[in-house]
Amino acid sequence: MPADAVASARAADTGDAGAGDAGARGWLQRHLSKLVVAPSFAAALIFFYGFILWTVIISLTGSRMLPSYEIVGFENYVNIWRLSRWETAVENLFLFGVLFMGLSMALGCLLAVLLDQRIRAEGALRTIYLYPMAISYIVTGTAWKWLLDPGIGLEKAMHDLGWTGFAFNWINDPDMAIYTIVLAAVWQASGFVMAMVLAALRGVDDEIIKAAWLDGASLANIYRRIIIPTIRPVFLSAFVILMHLAIKTFDLVMALTAAGPGTATSVPATFMYDMAFQRDRLDFAATSAVMMLATVAAIIVPYLYSEIRSGKRG
């Protein structure tokens, strides 16, 4: 390690007289970075990993209104699947997650590529597409609720304009309501994906693209063979961010449909909230939290691992 070698050489240069002092300073120099991050590391250890551990323990107990520490084993993990509400929530999460991530990515990339064509007023357009991300999910949910409400929103506007056959009542249809959440979430997040991808596109070396042009490659081929592989790390970042947005989706659902009609748009986060704060079932709440964490880990860990490995090799 060259850096260490330099440091120790410098320490040796100071000679015997200041050895103790230099040793302390050297120690400080070597460990300063660790000392600086120690408080936040300790906080993360306690408040993040510590409470994950606590939640796992609670999920193994029969806690109801107050936490208790009588272990009942994996009973909760079996029983939770007998709750129709949990089943709905898990199905919805997968449906929502796949559609939300897929559509946001696709739409975001498309917008970025289109904006990358050196068009006029790019700055203004970029801001317009990015702005939804600056709005809180509660606002998004409430605004879309009004838009989608057949009594006051889009359907009524169309009827008032004379198109009386128009019907768009997904939000009141238990089978379709989950797609209204996808719609609002994609509207919110795709501009963000666009901004990330656009920034990455601008970072691609112009020389390579020019070289490809000279070699007669088509635009589609340039994107497919050169640009997209170059900006791959950005997809990982976007993917990670979108996925955690999908799994923790709570406020959007509460504002848009309040998990209804009935329980049709329940997601694991609303399930957990209900169990912990409305039903005095801390055991089921903790169990669902652990299962959400496990789901994230199951997807993220292998992906991160492969990305890091291929990153090192490259």
Partner 1 sequence: MHRATTGRTLGLAVGLATALAGTGAQAQTAEVLHYWTSGGEARAVAALQEEFEAAGGTWVDAPVAGGGGDAQATVLRSRVLAGDPPTAVQIKGPNIHDWAAEGVLANLDAVAAEAGWDDILPPLLRDIVTYDDQYVAVPVNIHRVNWLWINPEVLAEVGAEVPTTWDEFNATADALLEAGITPLAHGGQPWQDATVFETVVLGLGGPDFYRQALVELDADALTSDTMIAVFDQMRRITGYVDPNFPGRDWNLATGMVMNGEAAMQIMGDWAKGEFAASELTPDEDYLCVPTPGTSGFVLNSDSFAFFEVEGDDRVAGQDLLAGLILGESFQETFNLFKGSIPARTDLDRSAFDACAVRSMEDLDSAVAEGSLVPSMAHEIAIGRAPRGAFLDVVTQHFNSDMSSQEAVELLLEEVELAM
Q: Rule CB under 8 A: which residues touch partner 1?
A: 64-67, 79, 82-85, 145, 149-151, 169, 171-172, 174, 257-258, 260-264, 274, 277-281
- Report which of 268, 260, 298 is spatially closest to residue 286, judged by C-alpha positions: 268
* Nearest distance in Å: CB 57, partner 1: 16
* Nearest distance in Å: CB 257, partner 1: 7
Of the pair 139, 264, the CB lying nearest partner 1 is at: 264
Cα distance between residue 302 and residue 310, in whole Å: 12
Helices 177-202 & 137-148, crossing angle to 10 degrees? 130
CB 303 within 8 A of CB 237: no
* Nearest distance in Å: CB 283, partner 1: 10
* Nearest distance in Å: CB 264, partner 1: 6
Of the pair 102, 262, the CB lying nearest partner 1 is at: 262
Of the pair 177, 243, the CB lying nearest partner 1 is at: 177
Of the pair 145, 238, the CB lying nearest partner 1 is at: 145
**Exposed e or buried b for every residue in 15-45, given b needs 16+ CB within 10 A?**
eeeeeeebeeebeeeeeeeeeeeeeeeeeee
Cα distance between residue 263 and residue 122, in whole Å: 43
CB 41 within 8 A of CB 49: no
- Report which of 37, 31, 40 is spatially closest to residue 4, judged by C-alpha positions: 31
* Nearest distance in Å: CB 79, partner 1: 6
Of the pair 190, 249, the CB lying nearest partner 1 is at: 249
